[in-house]
Amino acid sequence: MSNTVRLALLFLGPGSTIQYSQEVTAVLHNVIGQVKVALRVSRVHIMDIPCGDMAWMSRFLETREDVDYTGMDIVPDLIENHRKKFKHKTNWRFLALDALEEPLPNGTDIIICRMMLQHLFLSDIQRLLSKFSQSGAKYLLATTFSRLQKNSELATGRSTSGRFRQVNLEIPPVSLAPTLCLARDGPPGNSEGQCHFPGLWRLPLKQVVPCSRPQNFGIAKFGTGNISVSACVRWSF
């Protein structure tokens, strides 16, 4: 493994581990089944941005015979490593591509953007979401921090660890319309206050405009009790 790949893996974070991804794996199984029904197809094409180290995704894909997969990442050495490691997988392909600056492939049914947007500036988040909408893909499964009541800009500076802060995609300045579904995504036993959520949106995305004052409201927790979320439009399960 090259030094570039090692460096990239340092910034993947705990969310890329198999333990942390148990819930999103279950979500993805369900989403694929629902999308196949909605699109009336027997196979789906997934575009994964960024694909990262493929620790959990490769295990997930091994359980599916109805998925064509494209993994994208900005780190060329990481992509080259995947091409060699998974060269026997004829329906998996890997692209070294800057999703913000380069054209996205077409022909995708589901774009997965897990644990990426919280590392981008707000303007870049909006640019990337616009590209997703223009890509011709049908659905977007993306990480959102639904409990967050106000988005903030990404901090800069050497002391900023991992260039990270929470981002709620349903409040300004992103202000997306309500998700088709929302689920937990986190390690077993994680408190709901620290949990982020994979949300599913139909593409092209729609925004709620104007949205000067997001609404805070309770929804049934994934289990027992309630949690409070914030969005431009009040919704319920």
pLDDT per residue as tens digits for the range 39-89:
999 999 999 999 999 999 999 999 999 999 999 999 999 999 999 999 999
Would you state the pLDDT for residue 1?
42
Q: What is the pTM of this model?
A: 0.90
Would you state the pLDDT for residue 210?
93
What mean pLDDT do residues 126-150 have? 97
What mean pLDDT do residues 181-201 have? 77
Give the integer Cα–Cα distance in Å for 174 and 63. 35
9 pLDDT above the threshold of 50: no
For the chain, list the domains and their CATH numbers.
Answer: 3-210 (3.40.50.150)
What mean pLDDT do residues 180-203 have? 79
- Token pair listed for 232: 């431009």
Q: How many CB atoms lie within 10 A of CB 158?
A: 5
What mean pLDDT do residues 144-157 have? 91
Cβ burial, residue 92 (10 Å; 0-12/13-18/19+): buried
**Contact yes or no for 86/58 (Cβ under 8 A):** yes
What mean pLDDT do residues 184-202 have? 76
Q: Amino acid identity of 143?
A: T
Name 231's bridge partners.
215
132 pLDDT above the threshold of 80: yes
Give the confidence band of 98 by pLDDT, cuts at 50, 70, 90. very high
**Contact yes or no for 142/118 (Cβ under 8 A):** no
159 pLDDT above the threshold of 90: no
Cβ burial, residue 196 (10 Å; 0-12/13-18/19+): buried
What mean pLDDT do residues 109-121 have? 96
Give the confidence band of 220 by pLDDT, cuts at 50, 70, 90. confident
- What is the residue whose two structure tokens read 């091994």? 62
Average per-residue pLDDT for the chain: 88
123 pLDDT above the threshold of 60: yes
Would you state the pLDDT for residue 21?
81
Question: Who has greater pLDDT, 98 or 185?
Answer: 98
Q: Give helix 76-85 / helix 3-10 axis angle, nearest 10°.
A: 100
Would you state the pLDDT for residue 11?
43
Would you state the pLDDT for residue 10?
36
Give the integer Cα–Cα distance in Å for 207 and 74. 28
Give the integer Cα–Cα distance in Å for 185 and 197. 5
Would you state the pLDDT for residue 212?
86
